[in-house]
Amino acid sequence: MQVNRLSHGGRINRARALSFTFNGRKYQGFEGDTLASALIANGVSLTARSFKYHRPRGIVGAGVEEPSTLVELMGNDASANRPVTTVPLKEGLIAKSVNCWPSPAVDIGAVNQLFARFIPAGFYYKTFKWPNWHVYEPSIRKATGLAGTPQEAPDQGHFEARYAHCDVLIAGAGPAGLLAALTVGRAGLRVMIADEGTEAGGSLLSRKLVIDGQPAMDWVAATVAELHDMPNVKHLQNATIWAYREHNYLMVNERAPENASLLERHWRVRAGHVITATGAIERGMVFGNNDRPGVMLASAVQTYVNRYGARPGKRAMIFTNNNSAYAVAADLAAAGIEIVAIVDSRDDVPEVARAVVPDLEVVAGSVVTQAQGLRRVRGVSVVPRSGGVSRTYSCDLLAHSGGWNPAVHLFSQSRSPLIYAEGPATFVPDTPAQSVSACGAAEGQFELSAALHSGAETAAELCEGPALTPPEGEDLAYAIEPLWRVEQATGKAFLDLQNDVSVDDVHLAIREGYANVEHVKRYTTGGMGIDQGKTGNINIIGTVALHQGIGMDEVGTTTFRAPYTPVSFGAIGGFRDESVVLPYRHTPLTKWNMDQGAFMYEAGARWRRPGYFPHPGEGLQEATNRECEAVRNGVGVYDGSPLGTFELKGRDVGKFLDYLYTNIMSSLKPGFGRYGLMLSDDGLILDDGVCLRLDEHRWIISTSTGHADAMNSHMEELLQTEFPDWNVFVTTVTSQWNNATICGPKARDVMVELGTDIDLSPEAFPFMTFRDGHVAGLPARVVRVSFTGELSFEVNVAPRHLRALWDKVLDAGSPHGILPVGSEASHVLRVEKGFLSLGHEVDGTVDPFDLGMGWVMSKKKADYLGKRSVHLRRDGPGVRRELVGVIPDPDRMIPEGAPLTPRGEKRPTEGFVTACVWSVVHKRWVGLALLENGHARHGETAQVRLKGGELIPVRVTPPVHYDPDGEKLRT
């Protein structure tokens, strides 16, 4: 039974009843209801328990400001900590109160109320210290946290994030926002207007006002219709602008997109100008037990009655310090609710206010000191401010208004300052820091006609021509005398209902030295809840100001931070999810590799690469050994496509490469290649690779896979900013040239078998040269480089041909037992040869001399990147760690990264093992290490020290474990 549903009125569809479940009981409401309005219509007043003391609580507000009743939604709607006032009712909705067990009516945690006296603000800083916090923590954690945690991702639908651009973004579709939109829309600007409510109208939805002689909502409907017909206007409802970033970049969360498969849409909007027409939020009065169910914000009571046809009580008291509550009283009375009296803290109540409720008792110059009743307000105690006897009024509803605060959150997030205005007794927008303006109630224009005027004028400043003549709105004049707290209050007077912060808590904080408003906020946790103190923060500031005898401006506000209201992480992420959460790159052979059952993993620069190609029953080690043996004894082939490749062209390429690399490149002859090393100007190793000279002016350079982008940036930066006069063009050709690298003693046989017009003899085609021609009938560039220490032919072709080449290579190599080779085997072959690897031996500290590559540091060149710094560092007192080979004795694997310490003692390290592999050549474990003064210690025994103190003696050797003279790769 909807016992408190008014017989008529409201913007609900009485023809469509909706069933829902709250705290296990079934109820009915109507389409158009929120969960809050439906509960009120059903007479449910005890809806929550408070966070700390578990006091009984009801519904306080009607929108995002709701500080009191948070619910957890279940099922596919699952969502935690939702203000009950922001949950649109839908058929089958299941909700329950947070923070109480088993229910708000029978709440075990209510026992906390007995101890309330001993747990003031910050009590936990003073106790729970012995023996340590961790002992108490689990039980305390259980008591906190509000709603339960989401258990799984939504099983239906997905999220979407997108970009948008507009000339003007308007936040809020109330009277000011709509009129602003109409103004700029008619002027032809590209407009976006977003409003957090289910329908446009803002405050007009809740109030019985008249515009141009018609019901205000008729004007809203006509305006929305006109905007809808403008192709240059995008109008979103159910869409909250929750963040205002730098350069007018704003975030919008759209909760009910028209596309049914979308759960929510995240808009990132770049706006030329922003108009905040976000309205205002009512603040409460601060008196004893101001948290009892049935104590509600006056504007919320008005909303329930006018917009939802729901009656929050039958006998109402009004408590106010401003005029707006008089209109509420009038609307309530018109709906048949008995108004017992209006308590007004002002001595002089303006005539215009009294005039709207001529028949009601107004108790001026008085305050409510306490609400009576426990699970429901039963009455209020009222005393004159000047002193005198307390009088009790019986009621079941107390509608209170402490005045209005512009919703300045977005404006403030834009880094624009706020200023305290004495007239409206609140903080209002000051000078904008970005291209933003505020209008309507968000600017402090609380009366309808003023709001309409400010909407039209603010918008007119953005377009040419005169402002629209705003329609005439009739409204009660606003006037207020601020009252930040009732001094005569008895009982707990709450400033922040959500976090149970009372006036006493704030006074205690100040007494203990936590006097800055930021200290007050942190010590008491006031304003730190999910509602971020939308109704209470200014009363905290007022309480601090009163206690310290300073002005509101001196106290100042705390920072407004995004989000304005909580927003789901799913929406922020959009559908960048699952397989696309990070980029991935394929070569033309990736699919083939996967079809072969290769163990794939991510290598540098997001390439998906094969680690090894296991046969059935094989693990990493067996497969890797097999692949290594193929290369050392027969032939193998690997896909080297991801290597970064650049074509350089111009007269000054040689000069440029001489600056970039440590060795001399400019002397290279066409047809030849040369290995080189690049340093940063700090003298740290950046990258290595091979340069090929195609002809007088054209070169190809290769970089390591992982550093290709960084090298591109590095080269372009130097050329554009340091050497703009040099004639060098850089073009990335990584994906123009893919390659299959055939390596092993039989590599030449395979090349012959493939068929080529290139003379493959060592004399005609020596190591570190390249030839253009055809291989297996495909146009190819063949390069004789080697990253394995074996005879190698790197056959480069266009990617469109790579798969065909690969098949032919495998065919041609099959008589020799050719195997595809993965990254693991490449690593082993490299370590056997002592070739450096960027992720292993180059860890950001070594220089070429440390690696035994002093030969690559040209002495002839006066300058190149890193030269000065390498020598400066080597002149310093530091002991160098130098690359050595290590042979574990006895033979065993050493974990990569294991430290070496002097004599194996538990003391600072003298190096670490950079790599350790099973050598198929030596049939034992061999490794590489960086060791202090390592070059002078060949032949010594050093000690690897593992966690726990286990020692592994290792013989220190030169770093090349295989073919130290490099005869194989030159054959």
Partner 1 sequence: MMNIPCPFCGPRNESEFSFGGPLKPDRPDPNATDDEQWVGWLTEVPNPHGPVQEKWWHVKGCGTWFTIWRDTRSHDIVEGPLDAG
Partner 2 sequence: MPYEATFDRLATQALFDLKGPARQLRDWVGELLPEFPEQANSGTMTGGKALYYIGLDHWLLRAELPEEQALIAELRPADAPPDISIVQISDTQAYFRITGSQADEVLAIGCPMNLHAREFGTGAASFTEFFGLRALVTRCDSGFDVAVEQSFGPMIEDYLNRALR
Partner 3 sequence: MQYRLDYYLPLVKNVPMKQSYSFLSLLRHGLNKHTTWTPAWRSLPLKDRYDVIVIGAGGHGLATAYYLAKEHGLTNIAVLERGWLGGGNIARNTITIRSNYMRDASIPFYVKSVALYEEMTQELNFNTMHSKRTMVDVIQNYPMMRDRRRRQHIMDIYGSTYKQLSPSQVRERIPALTGGGPDARLPIVGGYVHTDAAVNRHDAVGWGYARAIDALGGEIHQQTPVTQILRGTDGRVAGVETPRGVIRAPKVAVAVSGHTTTLTETVGLRLPLRTMNLTAFVSEPVKPLIDVIVNCPDAGFYLSQSDKGEMVIGGAPDFGQSFRRDIKQHVFEDTVTAMLSLFPSFKKLKLMRQWGGHLDIAHDASPIQDETDVPGLFVTAGWWGGYKAIPAGGLTLAHLVATGQPHPLMAPFTLKRFRHLEYVMETGTTTAR
- Return the number of the residue (76 or 667) whose C-beta is nearest partner 3: 76
Nearer to partner 2, 556 or 650 (CB): 650
Q: And the tokens for 922?
A: 């030596």
In terms of CB distance, is 123 or 729 closer to partner 3? 123
> Are the beta carbons of 692 and 783 closer than 8 angstroms?
yes
SS (H, E, C) 257-285: CCCCCEEEEEEEEEEEEEEECCCEEECCC
> Exactly one of 385, 586, 655, 674 binds partner 2 (CB under 8 A); which one?
586
Pair type for strands 191-194 and 233-236: parallel
Please state the closest distance from residue 192 (CB atom) to partner 3, in A: 17
Report the candidate in 624, 642, 631, 610 with the shortest Cα–Cα distance to residue 802.
642
- Interface stretch with partner 1, choices 176-184, 476-484, 498-506, 720-728 (CB under 8 A): 720-728
Cα-atom radius of gyration of the chain, to the nearest Å? 38
Smallest distance, partner 2 to C-beta of residue 774, A: 15
Crossing angle of helices 324-334 and 298-306, in 10° steps, is: 30
Q: Which stretch binds partner 2 (CB under 8 A): 7-15, 408-416, 644-652, 673-681?
A: 644-652
162 binds, among partner 1, partner 2, partner 3, none (CB under 5 to 8 A by kind): partner 2
Instruction: Show the site string, 589-608: x = touches partner 2 by CB under 8 A, - = not.
Output: -x----------------x-
Q: Which does 259 bind (CB under 5 to 8 A by kind): partner 1, partner 2, partner 3, none?
A: partner 2
Give the range of 337-345, 585-593, 831-839, 866-874 binding partner 1 by CB under 8 A: 866-874
Spatial neighbors of 88 by CB under 8 A, at least 6 apart, are 33, 34, 35, 198
- Whether residue 406 is preceded by a cis peptide bond, meaning omega within 30 degrees of 0, is no
The Cα–Cα gap between 449 and 2 comes to 37
Q: Write out the binding residues for partner 2, residues 164-193 only, by CB under 8 A.
A: 164-165, 190
Q: Which of 14, 90, 208, 245 binds partner 1 (CB under 8 A)?
A: 245
For the record, the structure tokens of 240 come out as 């909250």
Among residues 132, 149, 261, 559, which is the contact residue for partner 2, using CB under 8 A? Answer: 261
Nearest CB to partner 3, comparing residues 684 and 694 = 684
CB of 562 to partner 1, least distance (A): 13
Contact between 306 and partner 1 (CB under 8 A)?
no
Asked whether the beta carbons of 473 and 456 are under 8 A apart, the reply is: no
**Among 437, 494, 534, residue whose Cα is nearest residue 67:** 534
Q: What is the largest CA-CA distance in the chain?
A: 116
State which of positions 142-181 bind partner 1 (CB under 8 A): 163
Contact between 962 and 921 under an 8 Å Cβ cutoff? The reply is yes
Distances (CA, A) of 735 to 607, 726, 796, 799: 12, 26, 11, 7
Which of partner 3, partner 2, partner 1, none has residue 80 at its interface (CB below 5 to 8 Å by kind)? partner 3
Residue closer to partner 2 (CB basis): 799 or 854: 799
Contact criterion met (CB below 8 Å) for 587 and 642: yes
Q: How far is CA 148 from CA 73, 96, 425, 497, 724, in A?
A: 10, 10, 39, 20, 61
Among partner 2, partner 1, partner 3, none, the one that 142 touches (CB under a kind-dependent 5 to 8 A) is partner 3
User: For partner 1, which residue of 128, 249, 601, 723 counts as binding (CB under 8 A)?
Assistant: 249
**Toward partner 3, which CB reaches closer, 450 or 944?**
944
We find the least distance from the C-beta atom of residue 592 to partner 3, in angstroms, to be 19
Place of tokens 């304005």: 564
Nearer to partner 1, 477 or 872 (CB): 872
For the segment 265-304, give every residue that binds partner 1 (CB under 8 A).
Answer: 268, 270
582 by Cβ neighbours in 10 Å (0-12 / 13-18 / 19+) ranks as: exposed
Among 615, 862, 908, 967, binds partner 1 (CB under 8 A): 862
CA-to-CA distance for 86 and 303, rounded, in angstroms? Answer: 13
Smallest distance, partner 1 to C-beta of residue 247, A: 4
651 touches, from partner 2, partner 3, partner 1, none (C-beta below 5 to 8 Å by class): partner 2
Burial class (CB in 10 A: 0-12, 13-18, 19+), 176: buried
- Whose Cβ is closer to partner 3: residue 571's or residue 742's? 571
Q: What is the DSSP letter of 335?
A: T
Q: Is residue 247 part of the contact set for partner 1 (CB under 8 A)? A: yes
Per rule CB under 8 A, is residue 695 in the interface with partner 2?
Answer: yes
Interface with partner 1 by CB under 8 A: which range of 216-224, 240-248, 342-350, 804-812?
240-248
**Under rule CB under 8 A, residue 435 binds partner 2:** no
Residue placing its CB nearer to partner 2 in the complex, 522 or 649: 649
Residue-by-residue DSSP string for 702-747: EE-GGGHHHHHHHHHHIIIII-TTS--EEEE-TTT-EEEEEESTTH
Per CB under 8 A, 264 contacts partner 2: no
Q: Is 867 in the site for partner 1 (CB under 8 A)?
A: yes
d(CA 220, CA 240): 19
Nearest one of 358, 366, 355 to 339, comparing CA atoms: 358
Sole binder of partner 2 in the list 7, 149, 259, 721 (CB under 8 A): 259
Tell me which amino acid residue 685 is. Answer: I
Find the shortest distance in angstroms from Cβ 870 to partner 3.
9
Residues 712 to 771 in contact with partner 2, rule: CB under 8 A = 727, 729, 731-736, 738
- Kind and range of the H or E element at 633? helix 620-633
Chain CA centroid to CA 309, Å: 40
Q: Would you state the structure tokens that stand for residue 193, as one six-digit string? A: 């207007």
Q: Which is nearer to partner 1, 113 or 735 (CB)?
A: 735
User: Is 97 or 587 the residue whose CB approaches partner 2 more closely?
Assistant: 587
Site for partner 2 in 107-166 (CB under 8 A): 158, 160-165
From the list 460, 811, 372, the residue with the least C-alpha distance to 635 is: 811
Residue given tokens 């479940």 in the structure block: 21
694 binds, among partner 3, partner 1, partner 2, none (CB under 5 to 8 A by kind): partner 2
Number of residues lying near partner 1 (CB under 8 A) = 25
663-702 footprint of partner 1 as x/- string (CB under 8 A): ------------------xx--------------------
Q: Which helix (H) or strand (E) holds 382?
A: strand 379-384
Place of tokens 């960048």: 576
Partner in contact with 642, chosen from partner 3, partner 1, partner 2, none, beta carbon below 5 to 8 Å by kind: partner 2
Within residues 603-642, the interface with partner 2 by CB under 8 A covers 607, 642
Torsion over CA: 954, 957, 958, 960 (sign): negative
Residue 717, contacted partner among partner 3, partner 1, partner 2, none, CB below 5-8 A by kind: partner 1
Euclidean distance between CA atoms 404 and 321, whole angstroms? 11
C-beta of 172 vs 533, nearer to partner 3: 533
Q: How many chain residues interact with partner 2 (CB under 8 A)?
A: 49
**Judged by CB under 8 A, does residue 270 bind partner 2?**
yes
Nearest to 614 by CA among 416, 751, 794, 819: 819
Compute the half-sphere exposure of residue 216: CA atoms within 13 Å on the CB side of its CA: 25
3-state SS assignment for residue 815 = helix
Asked if 275 and 177 count as a contact pair (C-beta separation under 8 A), the reply is yes
Q: Establish if 651 lies at the interface with partner 1 (CB under 8 A).
A: no
651 is an interface residue for partner 2 by CB under 8 A: yes
Binding site for partner 1 (CB under 8 A): 163, 245-249, 268, 270, 415, 433, 681-682, 709, 713, 716-717, 720-722, 862-863, 867-869, 872
Binding site residues, partner 2, CB under 8 A: 158, 160-165, 190, 259-262, 268, 270, 574-577, 579-580, 583-587, 590, 607, 642, 647, 649-651, 694-698, 727, 729, 731-736, 738, 798-800
